[in-house]
Amino acid sequence: MNGDLENSTPLQSMQRIALLGSHLTSTRNKPSHKMAETKSDIHLYTAQTPNGIKVSMLLEELGLPYKVTAIEISKNTQKEPWFLDINPNGRIPALTDTLPDGSPVRLFESGSIMQYLVDRYDTEHKLSYPRGTAEYYEVNSWLFWQMGGLGPMQGQANHFARYAPEKIQYGIDRYQNETRRLYRVMDTQLSKSTSGYLVGDRLTIADIACWGWVAAGSWAGIRMDGLDHLNAWLDKVLTHPGCEKGRHVPSRHTMLDNRNKTEEELDKAAQKTRAWVQQGMKEDAKK
């Protein structure tokens, strides 16, 4: 990857972000009048998850240099004050950069980060369409569909199928069936596409946003049979070298391997995360 895994301590990061915080306050009302430029100072804070790899896949596809700090979500690094200064919601991914006028910018929510990166750096529209075109708005629709539907529904399927302390069949069925419905929506869209991508003639941030989730379908217990266009698309996205490389940031992507595992093996693999999820829920409930 272009991105070097940073060994910065939370203290160093805290100092950097404290500076960012004060600068954000002082420059908040000063718009930049300069045109987008390619010089970047990108720092990605991420973990090996479907939302995290969206950003590294995009950064690699765009060929942008970036620094990476791996966030250990099982140790709750994302809840530390220095990180909350970058993402007040305490979740990965998050990203910082310097705007053309020299002011720092922080980004959180993977969809917002992706929009920022193509707005600013994809000036040749390799992975996006010019603002104002029908394709631009279609990409936006699929991006919002992923952020508001596919991600949250599959996240809940993960929760009930893997992390809940007891098997509540109603919750498992509700979220697995809804996620499978969303997969069918994607499969139908792809069946009508001559390019094999969600929008128009090229890979876009809509495809990249969805990829990590669909690749993790088996983990959520979603049946992948009968979704021929979707399964072909899963492979097609990986023919892009940046996507293939970026999915392994900050560590190896293993979700596709789950397709060959039994339910017992998947359940065993979830044990450690289940304990962390349960602990986090107990602590949040006390606050």
Ligand X SMILES: N[C@@H](CCC(=O)N[C@@H](CS)C(=O)NCC(=O)O)C(=O)O
Per the omega criterion (within 30 degrees of 0), is the bond before 93 cis? yes
CA 36 to chain centre: 24
Number of residues that bind ligand X (CB under 6 A): 13
Q: Is 73 in the site for ligand X (CB under 6 A)?
A: yes
* Of the residues 92, 172, 234, 243, which one makes contact with ligand X according to CB under 6 A: 92
Nearer to ligand X, 172 or 216 (CB): 216
Q: Is 216 in the site for ligand X (CB under 6 A)?
A: no
Q: Is 158 in the site for ligand X (CB under 6 A)?
A: no
3-state secondary structure 167-204: CCHHHHHHHHHHHHHHHHHHHHHHHCCCCCCCCCCCCC
Sign, Cα dihedral of 260, 261, 266, 268: negative
Minimum distance of ligand X from residue 45's CB (angstroms): 10
- Report helix, strand or coil for 104: strand
DSSP 85: T
* Of the residues 109, 135, 178, 267, which one makes contact with ligand X according to CB under 6 A: 109
Q: Is 49 in the site for ligand X (CB under 6 A)?
A: yes
Minimum distance of ligand X from residue 18's CB (angstroms): 22
How far is CA 137 from each of CA 124, 149, 152, 182, 255, rounded to the nearest angstrom? 17, 17, 22, 20, 30
Q: Is 205 in the site for ligand X (CB under 6 A)?
A: no
CB 96 within 8 A of CB 20: yes
* Of the residues 64, 77, 91, 211, which one makes contact with ligand X according to CB under 6 A: 91
Find all residues with CB under 8 Å of 212, minimum gap 6, and list them: 49, 50, 51, 52, 53, 54, 57, 247, 255
DSSP 259: G
* Segment interacting with ligand X, rule: CB under 6 A, options 46-54, 120-128, 176-184, 247-255: 46-54
Nearer to ligand X, 42 or 73 (CB): 73
Nearer to ligand X, 129 or 213 (CB): 213
Nearer to ligand X, 151 or 242 (CB): 151
Range 244-283, binding ligand X (CB under 6 A): none
Nearer to ligand X, 75 or 167 (CB): 75
Nearer to ligand X, 84 or 147 (CB): 147
Q: Which residues bind ligand X (CB under 6 A)?
A: 49-51, 73, 78, 90-93, 109-110, 147, 151
